[in-house]
Amino acid sequence: MVAQNPIENLYSVLVVDDDPAVRLMIRSYLELEGFRTLEASNGDEALAEAFANAPQAIVLDIMMPGLDGYAVCKKLRENPKTNRSVIIFVSVLDKVNSKVQGLQTGADDFITKPFDPSELLARLQAHLRRMAIQQEKEKMLERLAEKLAFMNKRLQEEAATDSLTGLYNRRYLWKRFGEEHQRAKRFNHPLSFILIDLDRFKTINDRYGHPAGDKALKEVGKLLKNHLRGIDLAARYGGEEFALFLPETSLQNASFVAERLRLACHALKIAPIPQGKLTFSAGVATFPIHGVTPQELYEKADQALYAAKAQGRNCVVTASFLSPNGDTSR
C-alpha cells in the first residue's frame, strides 16, 4: 500500500457508476490512499451528491440509466459549486470520438475500462496537484491585488495629504471644492468657504523654535478634524494658512463654526507656547451670496481674512462686511 499523503485527506471524490462492484473497487482503492469518497449509481444521484457536497474530483461513468455521463458532465460544468471539480470519465467506450466528446463536454481526462486502479490514482493525483497549484496561484494573485489596491490607496492619500498636519493639501482641496461647488449649484444649496491664518506665526517660530511651530500646526490640524462634520473638508493651504469648505452650510452657520474654532484654538495648550498665545484670524464667504465660482469665493474669503488681520487679528470676518472695494465697513 502506498503511504497516505496528508494533503489527500483534504480531497473528496465522488464515484459515479451503475455497477456496484465498480463503485466498491474504486472507492476501496481511493480510501486506502487517504481520499474521502462519495458514491452515486446514476446521473440524477450524481448531480444531487455533487451539488450538495462539492467534491474536489468526480470519477464518472458514461453509460448509465437516465442521464448519461456526458449530460451529467455538462451540468456539473454549468454549476458554480462543481465547475472547477476534476472530472475523469471511466467508460467501456474506447472509440476516439467518444473520448473527444467527453473532453469537449468538459472532462479533464478519460480512462477506458477495464483499467488498473493505479492508473486512475496517478491521473487523479496529477489533476488535483494542478488544481491545487492553480488555486494557490489565484490566492497569491488575490493577495497581490489586495496589496496593490492598498498601496494605491496609500499613494493617493499621500498625494492628497499634507505630511505635517495630516490634513488634505491645497491641490486636493481645489479638486473637492470644485466638485462640491457643482453639487451646490445643481441642488441650489449654500456652500461656505473659510480661510484661516495663524496670527504672528513667525514670532512663535522665532521665540519658541520651529519644532514648537510644527507642533502648533499639528495641533491646529487635529482641532480642525475634531470640530468638523464628516462632509466638511479641511486642508493646509500653505505655511500657517488653512482652508475649509462646508457643504450645505449657510453664512451664519459657517461664521459660528469659524468662531467656535477660533475659541478652541485660543484655548489650546501647546508647550512651550503659553496658552492663549496661539490665535488665528479667519475670513468667511458663502455661495452664492459672495460669488458663483470657487475662485470668487476664495477671493472674497481672502479679502475677509485680510480685513480680520487689519482689525487686530484673533477674529472672524465675513465677506458680507466688505465694501465693494474690498475694505471692511465693520
Name which of 298, 264, 289 is nearest 279 in CA terms. 264
Q: How far apart are CA 123 and CA 127, in angstroms?
A: 6
Read off the amino acid at residue 136. E
Check if 240 is active-site. Answer: yes
Asked whether the beta carbons of 27 and 49 are under 8 A apart, the reply is no
Asked whether the beta carbons of 304 and 318 are under 8 A apart, the reply is yes
Phi, psi of 88 (to 5 degrees): -120, 120
Asked whether the beta carbons of 297 and 291 are under 8 A apart, the reply is yes
Name which of 132, 151, 124 is nearest 58 in CA terms. 124
Cis peptide before 117 (omega within 30 of 0): no
Beta-sheet strand order (sheet of 233-238):
233-238, 241-247, 191-198, 280-287, 316-318
Name which of 183, 251, 268, 153 is nearest 217 in CA terms. 268
Q: From the candidates 39, 179, 240, 241, give the one annotated as an active-site residue.
A: 240
The enclosing H or E element of 317 equals: strand 316-318
Catalytic residues: 240
